[in-house]
Structure 1
Amino acid sequence: MSAAAGAALFDDDAALNAALPGYAARAGQAEMAHAVAKAMDEGGRLVVEAGTGTGKTLAYLLPAMASGRKVIVSTATRYLQSQLDEKDVPLAQTVLGRKLHVTVLKGRANYLCLHRLNLTEASGDLYLASKLRAVRDWAARTKTGDLGDFGDLGDGDALWPRITSTTDNCLGQECPLFDQCWVVNARREAQAADLVIVNHYLLFADLTLRESGFGEVLPGADAIVLDEAHRLPDIAGRFFGQALSARQLKDLVRDGLGELDALGGDMPVLKARLQDVGAAERGFSDALGSAAGSRSWQELATPQLSQAHAALDEALNALKVGLEPVVSRSDRVKALSRRCAELVTVLETVGKEDVERISWLEKRGAAWIWHSTPLDVAGPFSRAIKGYPGAWIFTSATLAVKNELSYFCDRLGLVDVEQKVLASPFDYENNAMLYAPRAMPLPNTPDFDDAVIAETLALLTAAGGGAFLLCTSYRAVARYGEALHAAGLDVLTQGSAPRATLLADFRADDNAVLVATSSFWEGVDVRGHALRLVIIDRLPFASPADPVLAARFNAMKEAGQNPFMDYQLPQAVITLKQGVGRLIRDAADRGLLAICDPRLFTARYGGAIRASLPPMPITRERAVACEFLDALTPA
């Protein structure tokens, strides 16, 4: 077969009807599939917004899997990787009538490191003993080493970083257990596969490695498909910068002390220098203060913090000098010396600012990360993707602003790309309604929260539940959740349980109410009557208090641009479209969208936002909205 043959399956859809009972042909899906096939055949670049319900996943999978080419599909999260692997790819193989070699490749921190498991067991940490035994038993059974299959460790579990490797602490081919390395095994599998499913973080890790000339993680490919591509610009900022964290320094000290003890404890001066680094890290953390949040280095650079920075620099350099003469003692000391040298370099880098990057820190409890972030990722990204010849396909349900893709393309430096905006096939005009309360106070005024709560309670009474209340801050989640609970409602609140548990509980109850922010604005699929009401408290404008955004806005002003119109507004539109997309997930779905922010109509830019939303009738009257909701209740 060929990519074009895969796309042709949407024209003569007998195979799709056989694999998907009830399949309905969608013009947008066929158009996207042919555009994907063309890009793959010609090695071109394609950016396509495929509205909710277009069926974009099959529209790129069938041409990709029929092409006979090596294809990488990158998506936003590990959850979506699993969904592709377990649901979408098997369906595509059924439609094609043949199986391909498909594998999922994750970042190294997802795989058990047997060497670090040995080190952690040898540390004698009684607090971790029972979990270590469970991991050791699982290690004897696993075929992949993917800790996602272990099932007993969350991302915040203290054991996770102790039994996985990072680019800092991995010994590479010098590791005594290299032949049993699950990361190496996963990469070998990816080298042999026809289709490799990765996530954006792993893809960017590889792009930045290639740009710096240090190597590559991902196998070469003829085509790369980036799903949920709206997330790319923000992720790019993280990977094209530099960062130094408290965790890196603490790991360096802990690993170093453990290695010196294993070698007989005959290097007391070196041990003292490691302890000096630990003390300097704690001093730096103390100098940052106890307040959580993100602030620029210029804002934070008090004399006390500058002294702490100098002490940390001095301690790291002393350790670097002390390690150099003893690297022959063991491969692990050699690796420790390399890590220390790299951290010295990063510490020198993160404190520097120029017109192209900002130095800033984030603090959470005792943890801190010092970043140097580029203000514009268009240049680094466009240079980096030149290392991957072949087709590049960018797709998401939310890329366009007023049916144009220029904002997305400009942020990533994409030129000479084919662009398509494909509308959702769902009947929003008959199945949905937008309610914008007429008398709402402005956000950030004292009465706004109470007004949102009043509107929410009225709408919930009419709907009987089945609602998401999507907020733009954790403060609002807590405030609204408490108010709804005080009103006698049984509310699911983000943070009260793991995300997957909250979603399962919501789906199990047709009348549930979920109050959430951030991660629930996207990647959540609840179909049918269980979700018939989505309430959004305010337009999701990025805060200019964010140090990176503040610096970016200053740079834009100096370049004669308008930060609000050229950045904040388009980004808010894309984020809002993600939240709106939670409501209608199937052709038979019906529901009400309520946006409580009065600026949707009162601000001069409100029309641009409304023009970017799916076409649906609008009401400003609560009675009309409640009547619509009441009619959704099954007889």
Structure 2
Amino acid sequence: MTAADGAALFTDDTALAEALPGYRPRPGQADMAAAVARTIDDGARLVVEAGTGTGKTLAYLLPALASRRKTIVSTATRYLQSQLADKDVPLAQTILGRGFHVTVLKGRANYLCLHRLEVAEGAMDMYSAPRIRAVREWAKTTQTGDIGEFGDPSDGDPIWPRITSTTDNCLGTECPLYDKCWVLHARREAQAADLVIANHYLLFADLTLRESGFGEVLPGADAIILDEAHKLPDIAGRFFGQAISSRQLRDLVRDARAELDALGGDMPDRRAQIDDLSQADRAWTDSLAGGAQTQSWQELATPERIAARDTLIQALAAVTQGFDAVASRSEGMQNLAKRADELATQLDTVTVDNDGERVSWLEIRGSGWIWHSTPLDVASPFARAMNTMPGAWVFTSATLSVKDSLSYFCNRLGVYEAEERILPSPFAYEDNALLYGPQGMPAPASPDFDAAVVNEIVALVNAADGGAFVLCTSYRAVRSYGQALVDAGFSPLVQGQASRASLLADFRADENAVLVATSSFWEGVDVRGRGLRLVIIDKLPFASPADPVLAARFSAMKAAGDNPFMDYQLPQAVITLKQGVGRLIRDAEDRGVLAICDPRLFTARYGGLVRASLPPMALTRKRAIACEFVAQLAPDALANSS
């Protein structure tokens, strides 16, 4: 078979109908599959927005697998990787009538490091011992070393950094257990596979390594398909810049103390240097206390903070020299000296003031921090990075366009000379969805805005009898609206009360549930059926101009004669809004009301552009009409009408 043969399955769809009960042809899916097949055969580039319900996953999987070319599919999260591997790829193989060698490849922090497990066993206390022993038992049976089999590596459990490796602390070929390395095993599997399922963070880690000439993470491929591509520009900014975190420093301190203990504790000078580094880190962290969560270094660079930074760099230099002098004692000491030197260099690099091409800024996270140096333009480095992996590139998402144009996405990421396709959703939005824009809403900056939003939320949720997402643009709004719903007699699920997975499970289990949440629930959430019949959005999701990267980018755009709002901030808000809107209609039978409480949707000069970028829904400005529409979808109303 060829890529074109895979695409042809959507025209002669017997195999699809046999594999998918209730299968119905979708013109957009066939169009996308044909475009993907051409792109793979020609080694070209394709940017395709496939509206919700198009069936984009099969539209790229069938041509890719049928082509028999080495393919990497990259998506946004580990969850989506698992969904591809466990659900979508087996279905594609059934339709094609043959099997393929498929593997999932994740970042090294997802794999058990047997060497670091041994170190952890040597330093375990009464609190960590049961957990570490349980990991050891699991390690005897795992075939992959993927710690997702044992637990959730994103749950913040302090055991994970102790039993996994990073690029900083990995000993490489010097590791005494190198031949049993699970990361190495996973990469060998990827080299042999027909299809590698990766994620965007891993892909960018690979691209930056290739461009620097320091190796690679992913195998070479004939085709690279990037799903959920709307997330790529922001991720690119992280990886084409540099960063150093308090966690890296604290991991260095912890690992150094463990290594000194393992070597007998006979090096008091080295231990004193590590203690000095720990104190310097604390002093630097204390100097940041009380400030905003994100600030540019230009704003933060007081004499006191500059002195604290310099002390931290000097402490790292002392550790480098001290541990280098005793590096012959063990591979661990060599690694620690190297890590301290690299961290000192990184810290010196990220503190360079904004030079017009990048911005130096700090992100405060609880008692920790991350210091970033972020490029203002990611188009040029990404375009160069793509050239290190020649072959076909396919970018797809349900939300890439702004008013029927893909130029914002393509220009921001540097994807030029690509075929561009916008394929609308096959769902009947005009019949099944109603857009409600409340009349008389105060401006979002008004002190009366929150109270007006609460009035709309309470009225709509009452009419719908629940089954609602309240999507907010800030955590402050989540807390405020959540409490208002409690005061009104509801028992809402509120982000922050439990994990994301737990909140979603509780929502799906109750057709009358109400969830109040912010950014992480605007996308990647799939609730089908009448359990979600109302989505309320408080404001248009404009990024804060106080964000240091955004502020620096705006200054650079103004200097170049561009309009930062119209050329950057508004298109980005539209794409984010489309993600939130996309939560409402997930299936051909879904019906519901979308309420957007921001009056700028109608009063601002750009409101028409925003509305034109949304699916074609019926519109009302009257609350009574919106309440009547959604009331008919409540479980009790449907039961009475049947």
Question: Given the two structures, how large is their TM-score scaled by the length of structure 1?
Answer: 0.99
Cα deviation, residue 153, structure 1: 5.5
Give me the whole-angstrom Cα distance separating, in 1, the residues matched to 2:152 and 2:419.
45
Pick closer, same or farther for the CA change 1:411–1:102 going to 2, 3 Å: same
Whether 1:385 aligns to 2:413 is no
Aligned residue identity for 1:338: K
**Partner residue in 2 for 1:463:** 464
Are the equivalent residues in 2 in contact too, given 1:290–1:365 (CA < 8 A)? no
Alignment of 1:392-431 (within 5 A): 392-431=393-432
- 2:584 counterpart residue number: 583
Q: In structure 1, what is the Cα distance between the partners aligned to 2:331 and 2:48?
A: 49
RMSD: 1.1
Matched, 1:278 2:294: no
How far apart are 1:106 and its partner, in Å?
0.5
* Distance across 1 between alignment mates of 2:435 and 2:366: 41
Letter in 2 for 1:59: A
* Distance (whole Å) between structure 2 residues aligned to residue 155 and residue 190 of structure 1: 27
Distance 1:490 1:594 in 2: 21
- Residue 473 (structure 1) aligns with: 474
Deviation at 1:269, TM superposition (A): 1.8
Q: For residues 438 and 239 of structure 1, what CA distance do their matches in structure 2 show? A: 44
Matched, 1:610 2:611: yes
Which whole-Å deviations, capped at 9, do the CAs of 1:430-453 have from their partners, x for residues lacking one? 111100001111112111111111
> Partner residue of 1:268?
268
How far is the alpha carbon of 1:493 from its aligned partner?
0.8
Equivalent in the alignment of 1:533: 534
What whole-Å deviation, never above 9, does each CA across 1:83-116 have from its counterpart, x for those lacking one? 1111111111111111101111100001111111
Partner in structure 2 of residue 601 of structure 1: 602
| Corresponding residue number in structure 2 for 1:550 | 551
1:10-49 Cα offsets, whole Å, 9 max, x none, are 0000000000011111111000000000000000000000
Look up the match of 2:25.
25
Describe how 1:304-323 pairs up with structure 2 within 5 A: 304-323=304-323
Equivalent residues of 1:477, 1:517 under 8 A apart: yes
Name 1:351's counterpart in structure 2: 351
> Deviations for 1:384-419, whole angstroms, at most 9, x for unmatched residues?
111101000000000000010000000111111110
Distance 2:265 2:576 in 1: 55
Alignment-mate amino acid for residue 435 of structure 1: Y
Residues 407 and 570, structure 1, Cα contact 8 Å, conserved in 2: yes
Amino acid at match of 2:40: M
Whole-angstrom CA distance in 1 between matches of 2:245 and 2:564: 30
1:558-607 CA-to-partner distances (Å, cap 9, x unmatched) read 11111100001000000000000001011111111000000000000000
In structure 2, the residue matched to 1:498 is: 499
Give me the identity figure in percent.
71
In 2, Cα distance between equivalents of 1:89 and 1:342 = 41
- Amino acid of the residue matched to residue 367 of structure 1? G
1:162-183 Cα shifts (integer Å, max 9, x gaps):
1111000011111111111111
- Structure 2 gap ranges (5+): none
Give, as a single letter, the amino acid of the residue that structure 2 aligns with 1:462.
Answer: A
Offset of 1:275 from its aligned partner?
A: 1.7
d(CA) in 1 for partners of 2:26, 2:375: 41
Deviation at 1:501, TM superposition (A): 1.3
More divergent stretch after superposition (624-633 vs 604-613): 624-633
| Structure 1 unmatched runs, 5+ | none
Structure 1 residues 36-70: Cα deviation after superposition (integer angstroms, max 9, x where no partner): 00000000000000000100000000001111001
- Following the alignment from structure 1 to structure 2, what is the Cα–Cα distance between the partners of residues 489 and 64? 48
CA distance in 1, matches of 2:152, 2:457: 37
Deviation digits for residues 327-365 of structure 1 (CA, Å, limit 9, x no counterpart): 222111111121112112101100113110000011122
For 1:411 and 1:6, locate their aligned partners in 2 and report how far apart those are by CA, in whole Å: 32
The residue number in structure 2 matching 1:143 is 143
Contact 1:292/1:364 (8 A) holds in 2:
no
Q: What secondary structure, in the 3-state scheme, does the structure 1 residue paired with 2:629 have?
A: helix
Q: Is the contact between residue 102 and residue 195 of structure 1 (CA under 8 Å) also seen in structure 2?
A: yes
Judge which range, 328-337 or 465-474, deviates more: 328-337
Secondary structure at the counterpart of residue 360 of structure 1: strand
Deviates more, 1:268-277 or 1:83-92: 268-277
Question: Quick one: which amino acid aligns to residue 583 of structure 2?
Answer: R
1-structure distance, mates of 2:370, 2:131: 28
Would you say 1:159 and 2:159 are equivalent positions?
A: yes
Q: Would the aligned equivalents of 2:437 and 2:621 in 1 still touch at CA under 8 Å? A: yes
- 1:129 is matched with which residue? 129
- Aligned residue pairs total 635
Q: Which runs of 4+ in 1 moved over 6 A?
A: none
Q: Give distance in 2, aligned partners of 1:301 and 1:153.
A: 35
**Corresponding residue for residue 336 of structure 1:** 336
Q: d(CA) in 2 for partners of 1:344 and 1:583?
A: 49
Aligned to 1:221: 221
Report if the CA contact (8 A) 1:273-1:318 is conserved. Answer: yes
TM-score by length of 2: 0.98
